[in-house]
Amino acid sequence: MKALVYQGPDKKALEERPVPKIKDPGDAIVRIVKTTICGTDLHILKGDVSTCAPGRILGHEGVGIIESSGPGVTTFHQGDHVLISCISACGKCAYCRRGMYSHCTTGGWILGNQIDGTQAEYVRIPHADTSLYPVPEGADEEALVMLSDILPTGFECGVLNGKVEPGSTVAIVGAGPIGLAALLTAQFYSPAEIIMIDFDDNRLQVAKRFGATATVSAAGGKSAEAVMKMTGGRGVDTAIEAVGVPASFLTCEDIVAPGGTIANIGVHGVKVDLHLERLWAQNITITTRLVDTVTTPMLLKTVQSRKIDPKLLITHRFKLDRILDAYDTFGRAASTRALKVIIEA
């Protein structure tokens, strides 16, 4: 089968690999129909994710069809259309019992990280009964790919951790796919203001179409000053970091109001300064989280009821044999205006 393989920092290739086989009773082999590229994949390629070794097939998102399953799989059968969660969960360990699937002792974020992932024609899914979701009849598979990772990530790590409430003021630093997913799902809670901050004017225009009440350009390094002016010097109740670089987290520190929350989503590959000399008395909360995907069933219902349309995030489409072009397009988002790319296997 064809597969996109990480070969070390800044190196990747489309290779021929053996089709995966059942290893454990709870495994399922899924034939990939559609997958995508995540910003986390770009972090891996930069060398930011030490747990991902060269030789790994990348990807942790997608929809597909069950090809075969182990004797321990009871929920799914050959031919079933399924949504693949980016998080594998046994459902039984102490962390899973607490709803912290991301820290499952035999799962978590392993796809495209510690085991081979979804940017291939086939993928092995451990703990299939609790790591796959049935695709409703007539559902738009491209829209559902957004439910593998970015929608639950934006919602859980940004909106829920950020304690977004009716009437609150929210700033999202980073108008990429994750930041836009946070923007879409923050509107469930009717905040009074959602301010999007980014360097890319095109993405800020998209954010306005998606429901942002205001946008701020990060060009010139004065975005924090602009937000403080917009909020009458008070700052924001929730500052969501959706990039994963020191400058964006520092912006959150500069704009959070007393009693507010900084909710980190981004994958950070280098250290960030925490200015406690300014923040120690401000009653703020700082949260971190790897998505648990506990909200996926709820989000699936909101997509099916057309409360939100994650397909709006899709800008480009490629066949699997052109995945290197897809990476190039996704990696040059400022010039290509890419948000999410769909890759059809």
pLDDT digits (tens, 9 = 90+) for 242-301: 999 999 999 999 999 999 999 999 999 899 999 999 999 999 999 999 999 999 999 999
Q: Does domain 152-287 have CATH number 3.40.50.720?
A: yes
Residues 103 and 113: their CA atoms lie apart, in Å, by 14
Query: 300: which residues sit within 8 A by CB, 6+ positions away?
Result: 83, 133, 136, 144, 147
All structural domains of the chain with their residue ranges: 2-149+292-344, 152-287
Residues 119 and 343: their CA atoms lie apart, in Å, by 8
Task: Please give the average per-residue pLDDT across 318-341, as a whole number.
Answer: 96
Per-residue confidence (pLDDT) for residue 138, from 0 to 100: 87
Query: 340: which residues sit within 8 A by CB, 6+ positions away?
Result: 36, 37, 145, 146, 150, 177, 313, 314, 315
Residues 188 and 167: their CA atoms lie apart, in Å, by 12
**Confidence band for 317, pLDDT divided at 50, 70 and 90:** very high
The CATH class of the 2-149+292-344 domain is alpha beta
pLDDT, one tens digit per residue, over 211-248 is 999 999 999 899 999 999 999 999 999 999 999 999 99
Residues above pLDDT 70, as percent of the chain: 100
Task: Please give the average per-residue pLDDT across 26-37, as a whole number.
Answer: 98
Q: What residues does 63 pair with on adjacent strands?
A: 34, 83
Task: Please give the average per-residue pLDDT across 31-36, as a whole number.
Answer: 98
* pLDDT, the chain, mean: 97
Task: Please give the average per-residue pLDDT across 88-101, as a whole number.
Answer: 97
| Torsion angles phi and psi, residue 264, rounded to 5 | -85, 130
Task: Please give the average per-residue pLDDT across 199-208, as a whole number.
Answer: 96
